[in-house]
Every structure is written in structure tokens, then in C-alpha cells.
Chains A and B, each alone.
Chain A
Amino acid sequence: MTTIDTHAGSSLGTGDGSLARSSFLVAVADWLTSSDHKKIGRLFFTLSGIGVIAAGVLGVLVGIERIDAESSFIIASGSETQFVSMFRFVMAYIALAPLFIGIAIAVVPLQVGARALSLPRLAQFGMWSWLFGVVLVVISVAANGGPTGGDKNFVTLYLLGLALTAAGIIAASIPVVTTILTSRAPGMDITRIPSFSWSAMVAAIANLLSLPVLIGTLIYLYVDNEHASVAFGGSEGIWTWISWGFTQPQTIVFAIMAVGLLTEVAPVVARTRQPLRPIMLTGLGLMSVAALGALTQSQHAFVWDGSARDVVEDLVLWGFFNVLPLLGAFIALALSLLALKTGKVRISAAFVFAFLGVGMVLVGLAGNALYLFTDAGLIGTVFEEGVFTYIVYGTAMAAMGAVVYWGPKLWGRMIPDKQVLGLAGLSLIGTVLASFPYYIAGFADQPANALGEFSYEGPAEFWNVLATGGHALFALSVIAFVLLAAKSFRSGAPASDDPWDGNTLEWATSSPAPVNNFVELSVVGSPEPLRDVKPSSQEVSA
């Protein structure tokens, strides 16, 4: 087993002030320019984690505006679309999309037995492009840009920022795919890829298919806004053309790795191998059908009306784009539960986060299928925002599970399980409160994306108060998690090399993993190479 200095350089801080300052600057410069995938990935998902908190705060502001539909509290009249689009942007492209891309950049090379990420500079470029794009979008919307914005220059800046954000996610996805396809350990054929890495590959390819279509539309909008404003309606038409990138099925693509995390953690907590693994991998693959739905730039509703041929056509498209991703997630969840049944379960906080998070994503996916069933009368209502919130917050919960699970390998220290379990419960309550009231309000016909001037029968204020509280609770649980993680990774209990009794290669190297990941690698003989050299739970109990 490899032994390394897990806290090299810590003595530098005890010297005189100038030495401490210079070592701090060196450390900052190292983090900002490093080509080590673990640093790039950690920076990516830490920044994205801040985005999750921002999403919760914006969710609270949106909720407050809706509590009293007659008057406006914070948002000036006429800027509702700008605010809603900003909320959607923060949820989808700051919180949701890069969260698991960052985790994949940090973890996938370790999982597949690679000594480095392929094209690390491209991953780094992706992260900076994403961050720069995010900053441009925030500045432009604050300065009256964005959809329906009144300042032409800042509208243009918004489009540029959004394109850079999407380009960053694409650029960060390419190294993930390339690493998995070219840098696997000896003996790890394509069927032996760990399930999280498989989900990362599927999600990254789905990003490569769907996000360029969004960029293509943004280029049109950019040129039109800059020169003529005749083809796409200037800033007024922007949201019509790009809103598909901020809703389902595009968001489902971003949630694939959350499901992949559950399929990774479940066999580990059961100390067993994943039963029916090929079917589970197929389930993860089925979720990527959402990308095909996204690149049609529309949602596919099922209308139970017209001729038999029309009904069948609608049913096929609705089922293909909306039910298949749900089926894929359900298969993955069911087989994860089967893994628990076949092994001897030792519940950990990482599993609880992943299980609850995927549960929320599944509720969102089921809601999405129902939303697009036109006879339910939900299209155009706030029900869709409930679906969106379930998927975003469910994925964020799973990401917290990923930090608990892989934190020891990336930072070399453990997050205390018992303390973090309470936060899993809190974030679950926050997610349900932030989402479910919108399901009910959707049935009561509360309009989508409207912040005021609506009325319907029923306790409208109550549902919106609940949702506001849910967003606040979720933001608080994420803040508490970030603080606990920061404290634990700084001064928590040192982690052993294999703290979870894991199945995959990342647990075969030291904690934290060294710069080049592995000193030496054995030939991989199964999808769970460490399980090959460990007794199974059945053998232990026997």
C-alpha cells in the first residue's frame, strides 16, 4: 500500500509572516493553474456548491414575490422574466450542471485507474470558461440585460455569457469521456467500467449532444440582437428560443450522474457486487434519451385527442423522451435496492444522501411525465417548477453524498457520519417543501413563471409560503453541510485508504490520492476489482 505525506507543506504556516504569505500565494496560484484533475474537479464543484446556495436564496426571493400575488416586494414590475430566467440559470447552470461534472473530473480517473485526466488543460479551460460565463450573465442581468432586458449591450453580454457557460460545460465533459475511453487500467474493458464512471460517460456524451444546440441558438440570437433584432424579436424573443435549455428534459441530462452515484454506493454499503449489472448500466444509458429530447428544443406532450395515428405518434414521442428516462432511473434505483438485499447493509451518510436525492429526482421525473400528459391540465402551470426543483435539489443532495463518499479520498479526512445524517434529513424536508407545494398549486392552475397577478381557488399564499420555506431550509442545509465539510476536511479524523470497504480502484491508492494517483496498478479482472481480493459479506457472516 502506498504511504505518502498527507499534509505536506503544513509546517510552512508556522514560520514567519512573509513565508506564510508567500506559501499562501503559491498555494492559491497552484490551485488556479494546476493540471491535477483532483484540484480542478474540487474547485469546479466547490464553486458550483456556492451556486446551490445562491439557487436556494433566489428560490426564497421568487417564493416571497408569489406569496402576495397582488403586490411586488423586491422585483420591479416588468422585470419578472429577467428574474425568473436568472433563477432558472442559477439552478440549472450554476448549481445543477457543473456539480457532478466537477465530481467526475476529480473522481473518474481514480475510478478507472488512470494516472491523470486526459486533456487536463481542456478541463481547466472548461472550468474557467464556465466561471467567466457565469460572471458575465450575472453582471448583464443586474445591468438590465438578459431576456426582455432593456439595455442592448448587456443583452448581448448575457448571450455571450450564456454561450461561454455552456461551452465550459462542454469543454469539461470532453476530458471525462476521453479519460474513460482511453486511459482505463489494464484489464478494465468497457463492461468493467465502474457504474459512476459509466454514468459520467453517458452524461458527458449527452452534454456533447445537447449543449451545442443551445450554443447554436445563442449565436443566432447574438447576431440578431447585435445587428438587426428582426429575426428573433430582439431581447423579447430570447426566452422563447432558449427556455428549453432551462427545463426538462435538459435538466434530466444533468441528473444522470446522481443516479450513477447511488448505483456506485449501494453495493459498497452492502459489501457485495452489483447484481444484474448490465441491466443497471442499460438503465443509466436509458436516462440519456433525455438528451435526444432536449436537442429537439421542445417538450413532447401527449395529447389524447385526434385520430388514432396522431394519438399513437404523440404517445411514442412522449413515452420515448419522458418515460424512458424515468424507467432508466427506476431500473437503477431498483437494482441498487436489490444490491442492498443481497448483501449485509451498513448504512452510511453518503448512501442516505444518494438514496434520498435519487428518490427526489425520481419524483421529479414522474412529475415530468405527468406534466406533459395534456389531459392532466398541468401544462403552463407552476407544476413544472416543482418538477424542476425536485430534479435540481435531488441532484444537489446526491452531490452532497458524493462529497461525503469521496471526500476522504480527495482531502484525506472524514466527514462525521452522524452529524451529516441530520443534514440529509433537513435537505430532504427542504426539497419536498420547495417542490411539492408547486405540484399542488399546479393542479390549482397557478401559472408558470409568474411572480404575481394570479389568482385561483385554494390557499395560494399557503402553498407559496411552504415553497419559500422549503427553499430557505434547503439553502440552510447546504450552508451547514459546506461548513461541516470545510471543518472536517481541515481538522477531521484522518481517513484510511479504504474507509468504506470499497469495490473500485480509487480505494486502492492512498488517502488523499497522490498527484499521479497510483504508484502501480494491477490488472483488473472484474467490475469490482477490490471485491476480488476481499471476502464478501456473506463470507464474513458465515
Chain B
Amino acid sequence: MTIALPAAHAPAPKRQMLVATTAASTVAAMLMAGMLAVWLRFRAAAPVRESSDGLKLIKDWLPANLHIPEVATNTMFATFFVGCVMAQWAVYATKRRDTAHVNLALAICFIIGAAIINAQIAVYLQFDVGIADGAYQVMFYTITGTMIVLVALAMVFSAVALFRSIGGRATSTDVFSSHALYWYAITVIFTAVWFVVYVQK
């Protein structure tokens, strides 16, 4: 005899999104940590030579004719922190059921993501060298390009959270807390990239 099994209720959500985002943020952090490790290894292995006047040693890593535009990179660095504040504002407003402010905060997060990518493109334009021009250039474009992908993912996350909020599904803080966590994670990641690639070079 067959007795049909009644459909069970869906499992009660216990911050699944937050845990999954923590895992995804860990993956992103390890990805960039691995890339930075390879960067540091290349930099450490770069040949050292005497300067033309023989007075100092020069490491052949960053080509002499290249100048990284520091205004744009420092602006990017600061902008990430503004993104974190906006993402946390969305969480704060959600807890108070203030949908208008949630939407505003998430929209600003999205725009900040676009601004960061815009700043990175500005760096590329001012940099004005080809990717195939040397080892440093390959590594520079690869690591900063990967960072752009992580920021683009943050923008997608902001857009999805915004649409959920506009759609009236902002009753739980789980999505917005996860969104904020991801913004914190990429800010920490960019801090490391900024220090190694743009400050230490």
C-alpha cells in the first residue's frame, strides 16, 4: 500500500544568507590573498641593479616610466569606507522598518560601486600602458581587474537587495546584513590591495 508523504514545511531560515555570504567573502579574501602573495613573490624576485650614477640600487619591478595616479587610488580607498557606512545604514534602517532610507542607502551603495569602477578606469587611462608591455603590467592589470570583478559583484548584490526592498521583501535583516558584510569584506580586501599595489608598489 502506498501512503503519500505530506509535504514538509520549508526549513526555518536561520541567517543562511549571512553564513553563505561569510563563506563567499572568505573565498574572495583568499582569492585576493593568493594573488597578492604571487605579486609579492614576483616583486621580491625582481632583479636589483645599480643606478646609472652607481649611488643606489634599483629594483627592476615597477618600470621607471610608469607613474600610478595616487589621487584616484586614494579616492577609491576612501570611497570603499563610504560604501560600508551606506550598507550599514541600510541594515539600521531595515531594523526600523524605514523602507525609504533602506532604498536610498542601497542605491547609494550601487552608485559608489560604479564610482569605484570609474576611478579604476581613470587609473588605467592615466596609466597609459598596454597589458602586454611587461610582467609588472600583466600583474597590475590582472590583480586590479579581479578587484573590479569583486566590486561589480557588490553592485549586483546592492541591486538585488534594492529590488527586494522595493518589492516589499525587506522584513528580514538577513539580506541587508549579508550585503553589508560583503561590503566590509571587499573593503578589507581593497585595503590590502591598495597598500601592496598602490602604496608599496
Binding site for B on A (CB under 8 A): 2-5, 8, 114-116, 118-119, 122, 170, 173-175, 177-178, 181-183, 208-210, 212-217, 219-220, 223-224, 227-228, 230-231, 241, 295, 297, 510, 514-519
Contact = CB atoms under 8 A, between A and B. Distances in A.
Given A220-B142, A228-B138, A212 B19 contact: no
B23 to A, nearest CB: 5
B3 A212 contact: no
Contacts of A231: 42, 134-135, 138-139
Contacts of A170: 27
B142 A209 contact: no
Contacts of A223: 131, 138, 141-142, 145
Interface in B22-36: 23-24, 26-28, 30-35
Contact of A213 (B2, B5, B33, B133): B33
A297 B33 CA distance: 12
A183 B16 contact: yes
B57 interface: no
B89 to A, nearest CB: 26
Given A213-B30, A217-B38, A230-B132, 16 more contacts: A5-B2, A115-B11, A116-B11, A122-B20, A174-B27, A208-B26, A212-B31, A213-B37, A214-B34, A227-B131, A228-B133, A228-B134, A231-B135, A241-B38, A297-B37, A515-B5
Chain B binding surface SS class? helix
Contacts of B42: 231
B117 to A, nearest CB: 18
A220 B145 CA distance: 11
A199 B1 CA distance: 39
Interface of B: 2-11, 13-16, 19-20, 23-24, 26-28, 30-35, 37-38, 42, 131-135, 137-139, 141-142, 145-146
Between A114, A118, A122, the greatest number of chain B beta carbons within 10 A of the residue's beta carbon is seen for A118
Contact of B20 (A178, A212, A214, A241): A178
Nearest to B42: A231
A183 B42 CA distance: 44
Contact of B4 (A4, A214, A227, A230): A4
Chain A binding surface SS class? helix
A230 B135 contact: yes
B27 to A, nearest CB: 5
A212 B36 CA distance: 12
A497 B139 CA distance: 57
A268 B48 CA distance: 63
Contacts of B27: 170, 174, 208, 212
A3 B3 contact: yes
Nearest to B41: A297
A217 B23 CA distance: 20
Contacts of B9: 115
Contact of A182 (B19, B35, B132): B19
B142 A219 contact: yes
26 contacts: A5-B2, A115-B11, A116-B11, A118-B19, A122-B20, A177-B23, A178-B19, A178-B23, A183-B11, A183-B14, A208-B26, A213-B33, A215-B31, A215-B34, A216-B146, A219-B142, A220-B138, A223-B145, A227-B132, A230-B135, A231-B139, A295-B33, A297-B34, A510-B5, A515-B7, A519-B8
Given A5-B4, A178-B16, A519-B8, A219 B35 contact: yes
A219 B143 CA distance: 9
B171 to A, nearest CB: 18
B154 to A, nearest CB: 17
B164 to A, nearest CB: 16
Contacts of B24: 174
Nearest to A509: B5
B138 A224 contact: yes
A216 B133 CA distance: 21
